[in-house]
Structure 1
Amino acid sequence: MQSDASDKFKDVHGHHLIAGHYHESDTYLSKRLEGMKDWLITYTLDGEGYANTPEMEAVCRAGDLMLLKPEVPHQYGTRKGQHWHFVWAHFSPQQVQHMWLPTQEIYVKTIENTSVQRRIYRAFRKIIVDSTERGTYWSELCYNALQEVLILLAQRHQQKLDARVEEVLLLLSQSIREPWKIEGIARTIGLSPSRLSHLFKEQTGHSIIEALNQMRIRQAALLLAHTDRSAFEVSQDVGFHNYNHFMNQFRKYYFTTPTAYRNR
């Protein structure tokens, strides 16, 4: 990971992206007295790393995403007495929307949600494979996966939801057709039903069942607008097994019937 090594990884547009998966002892150190032209992003899987600039210091532990800004003198490596297991990528700032990038020289965010952690790691694996294989449209594939990571990071910064509430929302969105019960969701999350219900309502303003119904009705509205499926079929598609209940919920959110909504 020397500062000049990435030049040979430039694509046809002059932008470069290089990525890897490292497991390093506490002798690992990378030092750049003049900084670098690209961004560095790391995601720590295990152990501890660190990064220093003249103005900032940061420690990276399991679940931490770190971004290191271009043109800033820095060094980073494994903390003494530790190992550092992490995935990383250097990327061109010209290829990423600036709204997804932090302003700090070093930015570290802990990702507590286990589903989001898995999603970020899968995105890094895609970047590593595509940047190594360099097949057709490899750069576009890499930057799509990288932007997914950056958007997930920005989402964590904006929402500030408890990781367990995020897990519930993801669980519901992945399986909106399931006949969910609070007790089953609470067992999956690892909280009592009463504690989970209180936490979810406190953070979102809705009960879990209300949130699930909103997801189902939003999806139903999209299906009604963009497919030829009947209102009854749509109700089944999104998880309502009682058509009258579906009708009542649809009126609650859209103030009209599913059929009238489609015609309108």
Structure 2
Amino acid sequence: MHSSEASLLYAGYSRHSESYYANFKKGLSFYLFRLQLEGSCKAWIDNRLTPVVPGDLLLYGPGDAYELLIEPNAEGKRSVSADMYFVCAGKKIDEWWERGSFPKKVNISFDESLIHLWRHIVAEKRKRPGIRSELLNSLAWALCLSIEQAVHERTKENEGKETFIAFRMKQYIEKNATEPLTLERIARSVGLSVSRACHLFKAAFGQSMMDYCIEIRMSVAREYILYSSLALERIAELAGFRTYPYFCRAFRLRYGMSPKQYRLSK
């Protein structure tokens, strides 16, 4: 086999009804792709054992540490975990891997076309055990391209959902900025954890949720200062600031002068 080819090394199904542990902590010497079909397990991702559920596709390359753990189910019941695996190598796949920027884990649900191709490869491999054929190598390359397409489609879909969620949080802040507002309350409005909500908002808009909240409050306060005769302490309250001293500090930081100086200057 020429080193530039995409070479299929192994492909098959795996089913475990008992505890199982695999360890390649020193790093793989090949590409390993694994699709969870049934049950659950844990895999080494981002320096920790991470839960893997049906539909999760694991993607490991040469040099990556790999660890897989299948544990007994709750109440001592037998473990059941089923997957399809695919092991390959070759310069062509090296180049494909470098351009792909693949995650270690992505849930592709059950992409029927990809699974059908994967099953076809497993069946062909069983017909020719120990033989590396041009057909199998071509199918291996086709599976790599199919994996790339499935991952990119799911990534694009997730990015669209995340952007929509970020805009929902933005609208929630705009609607409720003058009320007592916490990160927990904003995150709860879209059903996310605080850390996940903060990450999505910052990625979408380049600032934190609370910075945006203060920006809205400042805009409200500025309108009151310019176009009303309300006392500054009352304006701070209406704009959603907890205390007047905090309002003054935040206002000076943003506009370079106190609220009183700002009113007089206009």
* TM-score scaled by length of structure 2: 0.48
Higher relative contact order (CA 8 A, sep 6+): 2
* TM-score scaled by length of structure 1: 0.48
